[in-house]
Structure 1
């Protein structure tokens, strides 16, 4: 579409190509400046959108944790109720059904695993083994936010322990996977692309001369490359390049289209800059647009693979439910417990994958 980053890159270098046909034309010079600003703004906006998604994920996790804590309290309370009811020799099936439903919701939300003890209470824990409900006591999960960083902490009453994504499952693990792994990889790619493009343009622009005989000026914010030879810069070199990218030339007379002072028809530098879009290869293999295409295609490939995995997990849940229904009324307690554990594990995986699938579709839309 006309609004994607690849198009803006093409339009920027096309503006330089047009300027080369009449290097003294102030309208064409202004067009170069405007297209540079549009390109910079596109980079800026993409970073903002990705960081907004990260912030929205944080809000969703905070809300989700509040609901999880409520469910943990409910299970602890139901443990107490079921224990007291059955200790009197009465039937607690309704309370057991409620507890089972909540345990399934916790499996989908956070990958919680559960098992029934001999005293009828249900123990709930994270996939990594950290306890969430023990007997009649429920632990509390807390959220701590610093900027866009959010971490989960388990409060057991006596100690606080950080919860790593490896100890989680379900929806929240899917949200954290997108927030902490995939979006940062996209941001890193955008920063690298913005840095490579702006530093190469800056390098060549500084070699040229404007209509006012100005020289040595960079076009974009940020440093100029030291050469036109592709290399792999340290990540710290291009950190935040996309977010901070802007045009710093303010006067169209300073647009360095030529290489010779007082030569209004000199178009040699404009031609060289126009060709950067096709001739410069990041890491010696990808021009700017193919590098961006590689970034977006990775999102598509992961989304497709995730969809296949989700379909498999959902099928497994259905099969386990059918097996479990077949055991209903039959005295096979160990088999039933195993099936419940497996079923909740696949329910957790399915929720994780469906959450990732939903977020991936949102991210793929950012190609626009």
Structure 2
């Protein structure tokens, strides 16, 4: 049974120009009704798919910290009411915007057992922050991380982005330098992906989005990998780097192809071999929970072939790669039995390599990860 749970808070004070997550403006929304619906979904989910004890909890969005104090308190109490976990052992993560976390909110989160904060920093360059639709500025990051440390948070992650409009390699190197000076435990570094239905997508279609070249973006990624290692942040997944002992246990749930609960509008879950996707619109989510207790839009029973494909393309995101022994234990077949030709082809291209225990991406393979993942989809 699932040992992890994800909770989606879809409200934002400002919509970023690149974001395609399920989100809406905070003001004018039925926020209290939404949180009550989430509480009902938690209750019904635990009744239908009970869990002994969770190991990780992750609250994402949207922007969870946009909630007002009373709303935040109600939401946290709902989690405690319906999910069992050990406060001493759980990894409890909250995503946050640097300019939306007051001292009072930080104290509330700390007292409620949240022990990991993930800040959407993206860049420390104020002009770039404005250009991508972020509302915080460099000083907000410095002040909020200092405040979080003062209150007692000892597991802090920041997100950085590269390949942003007009961003130079030099600017990204400066971002890395500042990030290292903050002495946080975890850094995620993602390349910008232009998604449909975003402001950036519309600008790109009109020819008004000037992006770095592929060579410049590759240079930024290579520099991230090199510099992170120099500063004791070890790459454990394509876009994620951690100090020893601070890997994101929750995200490893996904990459290890393990099961998890998903609560909230647009959230996904994987329980009992079944993947479920919740409806996305806020009012539809509330109505569906009221009607049936479950807000499912799609329910998909994952076949053995699909499970094996997922084991490969999710597991290859990890630096250590896919465990041969674990694959055999899960499926009763070896990787060469199922994917021998695909592995051989990608090895020949120099994108995969094999150790005694794992199959993993090469350094070049990390630059072309999506191409490698495609080799394991639909080929069984």
TM over 0.5: no
The structure with the largest alpha-carbon Rg is 1
Is the strand fraction higher in 1 or 2?
2
TM-score category of the 2 structures, normalised to the smaller one: under 0.3
> Could you tell me the TM-score, scaled by structure 2's length?
0.21
Structure with bigger RCO (C-alpha 8 Å, 6+ apart)? 1
